[in-house]
């Protein structure tokens, strides 16, 4: 005749035995959600960068016809520098160990005080001071 205590111990053993499996499933789901969130942020940033680049091209076309204002030219030049920043990081993206080198370059840029990422990839507003 089985005792109630043995049944409880067996249920407890099964619960504890399955706990690591649950932890792995939860951490896997959490990492998938984090990756999905990061990919969506990247998609939004790239879409914004595309719109800004199209606007830059339109402003430069208007400049060739002498129809652009100095403020618009300032915006277009700022976007052009963002495009150059993206191209600079693109060079490091094709090198080996890119998942390591690009974050190191971004961190070094922050330490030195240089904004390496294009403006659409910055989540915080820039704190650059004009002299």
pLDDT computed for residue 29 by the predictor: 93
Residues 75-120: tens digit of each pLDDT: 999 999 999 988 888 888 888 888 888 888 889 999 999 888 888 8
Q: What is the mean pLDDT of residues 63-76?
A: 94
Q: Is residue 103 included in any domain, yes or no?
A: yes
The position carrying tokens 């076309």 is 61
Q: Is residue 131 included in any domain, yes or no?
A: no
- Cα(47)–Cα(67) distance, integer angstroms: 27
Nearest to 58 by CA among 70, 76, 33, 40: 76
127 vs 36, higher pLDDT: 36
Q: Is residue 127 included in any domain, yes or no?
A: no
pLDDT computed for residue 2 by the predictor: 52
Contact between 92 and 105 (Cβ < 8 Å): yes
pLDDT computed for residue 124 by the predictor: 58
Q: Is residue 126 included in any domain, yes or no?
A: no
| Domain encompassing residue 54 | 4-119
pLDDT computed for residue 39 by the predictor: 92
Task: Report which DSSP code applies to 126.
Answer: P
Q: Is residue 20 included in any domain, yes or no?
A: yes
Is the pLDDT reported for residue 50 higher than 80?
A: yes
Q: Is residue 124 included in any domain, yes or no?
A: no
- Cα(118)–Cα(81) distance, integer angstroms: 8
Q: What is the mean pLDDT of the chain?
A: 84
Task: Report which DSSP code applies to 95.
Answer: S
How many domains, the chain? 1
């Amino acid at each position: 005749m089985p005792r109630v205590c043995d049944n409880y111990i067996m249920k407890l053993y099964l619960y504890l035995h399955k706990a690591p499996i649950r932890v792995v499933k939860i951490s896997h789901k959490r990492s998938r959600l984090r990756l999905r969130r990061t990919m969506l942020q990247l998609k939004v940033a790239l879409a914004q960068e595309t719109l800004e680049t199209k606007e830059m091209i339109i402003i430069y076309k208007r400049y060739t016809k002498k129809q652009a204002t100095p403020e618009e030219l300032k915006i277009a030049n700022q976007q052009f520098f963002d495009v150059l920043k993206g191209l600079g990081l693109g060079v490091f993206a094709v090198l080996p160990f890119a998942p390591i080198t690009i974050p190191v370059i971004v961190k070094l840029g922050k330490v030195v005080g240089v904004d390496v990422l294009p403006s659409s990839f910055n989540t915080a507003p820039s704190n650059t001071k004009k002299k």
